[in-house]
Every structure is written in structure tokens, then in C-alpha cells.
Amino acid sequence: MSSKGTLNKIRDLIKCSNYKRLGRCFESSRNKYFYDLGTGKVFQIEEEVKKILQLILCGDWKEAELCSENAIQEVYNAILEEEILQAPELKAYIGAQVYDLSSKLNNNRAQITLELTEKCNMRCKYCIYHDGNGGYREFGSNDMTFEIAKLAIDDLMKNSADEKSVFISFYGGEPLLKFELIKRCVNYCEKIKNKNISYAITTNGTLINEEVATFFAELGDRIHITVSLDGPKYMNDKYRVYANDKGTFDDVVRGVKLLVKRFKEAGKGISLGINSVLSEYEQDDLNNIELFFKSQDWIPKETVYTSSFVSTKDREMDYLGVDSEVETELIENSRKIKGYFDPLFDWAKDDKGKDVTSKLIAKDNMIKELAMIHRRLLFRHPMKYYYMCGCCVPGARRIYVTTRGDYLICEKLGEAPSIGNVYKGLDIEKIKRIYVDDYCEKTIEFCNDCWAVHLCGMCYMNCYDKDGINLKLRHSKCIMNRIYIEKNLELYHELLESNSQVISVLNDYDFS
């Protein structure tokens, strides 16, 4: 059969008008690959097959006729045998259909995060609360009362009948400004006998004293403590300052050392996290941060390190389509310019063939991203359903309780409609309307256009403003997300080729 005849057969088998969404060609330093959307399979391919697939994905059938007849036949055989390039159109999300929202929210709630105060004793120069910093919140003067906290706790306990374990997190502002409220909440929870209750707190660490350290040590590893510290003193104190512009490094280190000491004296293991905001991220900066943390023998070896870049306010953008000029330029620049797209990613994978999870400040980020590839959905036949990407069941996985007692989806979401309050509980009808029906209706058009929809971890973040869904806030994030996913596909297969033992740690990653 001629090349044209085989291509016509391929065209007849592909029941899709938007070819670009059906898969993605990518490559490691050694090999070329094709990811198929419908099945989740990844195939190692030769250059000529890659060329044909790329032409098919672009709908350039005329140019494809000039390719090798053997390679065209190979693609045709793969379609017949492996059922690639057969992903059905996205018309509905299975996540919106399979769970009973009322049952889930009345029986399976797992966590609340209590915004104990809008106040903070620091004025970090990059903080999302900082006036004029482009963040989505502002400092306030409100504190949560115990009455509001108690109502939120009671509501969690009442509606988590099918959950043996629940989690209560303390957040701010700076939550240790309300340490007495933390103690009251914990003491109240400790009287509840039918649940395993764990706690978490995110703190700047400056207010940790003997009383705080002793109280937390009594809880042992039932409380996870995340402290913010950006690295060595000269880096931390450049941005993490008090209102009088004095650096905070010494106070944070003193506080964390005291915590570690009290836990050790109590014979309890400490569950500690250190979060660093990477305000400066040249390679030397990242090396210095890494060296600092590795050289501090007072930091427990089990400490979990997380890192992020400075948050900025979401900006609206019109939809440009997949592989637009803007996206293509970003992809090209990310390949040519080291650190252009994600300095931490490029720094962490700098030494090919080595363990990219060995860098403390990048390990959690890298494992999470690679685990998304490693644990992707895989099917013999094209998957008929599409999940709601990284969206949780709103209100079930976690609820953010404001100082006034309003319920929001989570602390990471900016301005967005509330989902209830401590007085009336969750507004299930509102949740269904705004965070299920509206979300599904408005996102399908764009997600159906995307080859990465089954690998996507994007959630409700960057989708809402105070009035409801606003996808113009998300379009730029979708571009960045696709670039991340392609880079992760490349890195994952690079590791499979050169250091497959690294992959073994991905099976146990907890996405919660």
C-alpha cells in the first residue's frame, strides 16, 4: 500500500478534529518518546516515526506523505495494536458524576485549617499579605474567638463519621500570636475519644518559647510544625524582617533549636518542616541555601524541606490555544536558557544520571512532580472518562475557616466565593453550583484542547475571583503547567535510562 493510502487509513481511524490533543512527542538526551493521551502509554520511537507523529498531531497530512513508508506503516500498526491516537472527546468529568456530594460532605470531611488571626509580627518583603505586593490578601486586625474555633471543630467531628482520623491545622497571619487559643483548641480536641486527631501549624518561628516548645513536645509527632526559614542569615534577613526592618534569622533558629531540644527531652519524635521562599535563585544562591541546611547539625535528618517562589497576584489573559506563539517561545527559551523557566528544577537536575532527589530544598517538589508521571493512569484501551484534574471534593479534603467563621475551600485559594460558615455549615447547593457545575461547564472547552489533561494536577486555584469562576486567571498557568509536564516526562524517562533506582521512591509519595 502507498504512503498516502496508509495515511488515509490512519486518518479514518482517528475520530478527532483536534489532532494536537491526542498526544505529545518528547525526548531525553538518549531517546525519543511519544505519550498517548487516551491510554497513558509512552513509547520509545525512532526519529522518522517521531516526525510522522508530529505531522499528524499538527494535521499536516500532505507533508506526512513524504515520510518513510515503513515508518508510516509502523504508526498504523501501533494504532491498530496499541489503540493510540484514539482518545475520545472530553464531554464530561467523571469526578462530577461518581461521588454523592451530600454524602461525602456529611460523612467524609478530613481537615480544617483555622485562620487564628489576620495579624503578624513580621513584615516580610515578599509576603502575599504585604500591601502593594500583588498578593491576594491584606493584613487585618481580626482574631478568631474560641467560640468560632469550637463551632468549626464540632462541625468537623459531626461530619466525619466515616473517617477514623482527622486533621486540624493552625494558620494565620502568625498563629503563635494566638497561642492561648491553640492550647484551648487542642485541649478541647483531646477530650474527643472517637477520633485520631492530628495537628499542624505553619509559623514564622520567632515566637517559639519554652511554653510553646513544651506544649508541642507533649503532642509528639501528632503535630507537624512547618517553620519558615529562607536559608543562611544574610539571605533570610534580607526579606524576612520585623516591622522595624530587623532581621528574624536569630529568633527563628533559637525557636527551632528549642523545639528540637524539648521534643528530644520528652522522648518524642518531631515532625518538622522547613519552608523556604526563593526570592533569589541564581545557581550560587541555591547552592548556598542547600549548603546551609546540610551543614546545620541541629536540624533533624527527617525534616521535610519545601520551597516556593514569591507569589504574585493572578492576572487575566485570553485563551491562546495549545502551542501558541507565546507557549512555543517559552518552551524554546526554557531549553536554551538555563533557569529561564524554573531555576529550582534546572538546578536540581543539573547532574544527569544522579539522584535528582538528593537536593534538600528541591526534593519534595521533584518527587511530587515525578510521581505524577510515574503514577499516571494507564489503560489497555483508550480511557473513556476524564477526571477533574487535581480538584479535590470541595469541602471534604479540607476547609479553610476564616477569623470570622466563613468557610473557604483552602488557604491556597485567593479571592473566591465562600462555601458556608461555622453557624450554618457547608452550603452544599452553592458548592455544587459554583465549584462543580460552573467549573465543569466552563473548563471542558479548554481541557478538551489539551494533550496533558490526564497528567494535570491543577485545581481550583487560579480559576476564581470573588464573583465566581474566571478562567482568564488560569490560562497563563495552563501554559506553564504544560511546560512543567513535558519537562517532567523528559526527566522521568531520563532517570529510567540512567538511574532507575530513583524511581522506586515515587510509589510511596503521599499527595495529601
**At a CB cut-off of 8 Å and minimum separation 6, what does 383 contact?**
38, 39, 40, 87, 377, 454
Tell me: cis bond preceding 173? Omega within 30 of 0 counts: yes
Provide the pLDDT for residue 353. 53
Pick from 499, 188, 233: nearest CA to 358: 499
Q: Model confidence at 390, in pLDDT bands (50, 70, 90)?
A: confident
As a whole number, mean pLDDT of residues 129-137 equals 44
Q: Write the CB contacts of 180 (distance below 8 Å, at least 6 apart in sequence).
A: none
Predicted pLDDT at 131? 44
Q: Note if the bond before 132 is cis, omega within 30 degrees.
A: no
Q: Which residue has the cell 507533649?
A: 218
Query: What's the angle, vertex CA 153, arms to CA 161 and CA 431, rounded to 5?
Result: 70
- Confidence check: pLDDT of 499 > 90: no
Helix (H, G, I), strand (E, B) or coil at 391: coil
pLDDT > 50? residue 355: yes
Handedness of CA 357, 363, 369, 374 (dihedral sign): positive
Residue 137 has pLDDT above 60, yes or no: no
pTM above 0.75, yes or no: yes
139-161 pLDDT tens trace:
688 999 999 999 999 999 999 99
Map grid coordinates 497528567 to a residue: 455
Cβ count within 10 A of residue 156: 22
Give the model's pLDDT for residue 354: 66
Closest CA to 416 of 352, 480, 463, 465: 465
Parallel, antiparallel or unpaired: strands 406-408 and 165-171: unpaired
Q: Identify the band that residue 138 occupies on the pLDDT scale cut at 50, 70 and 90.
A: low
Inform me whether the pLDDT recorded for 413 exceeds 90.
no
Report pLDDT for 134: 35
Q: Which residue has the higher pLDDT, 511 or 20?
A: 20
> How far apart, in whole angstroms, are the C-alpha atoms of residue 502 and residue 354?
9
Q: How far apart, in whole angstroms, are the C-alpha atoms of residue 485 and residue 198? A: 33
Residue 130 confidence (pLDDT) above 60: no
Contact 120, 173 (CB under 8 A): yes
Q: How confident is the model at residue 133 (pLDDT cuts 50, 70, 90)?
A: very low
Query: At 145, which amino acid appears?
Result: T
Mean pLDDT of the chain: 91
CA 461 to chain CA mean position, Å:
10
- What average pLDDT does this structure show over 449-455? 96
Tens of pLDDT, residue by residue over 322-338, are 999 999 999 999 988 88
Give tens-digit pLDDT for 251-262.
999 999 999 999
DSSP character for 44?
E
Query: What's residue 512's pLDDT?
Result: 62
Return the pLDDT at 450.
Answer: 97
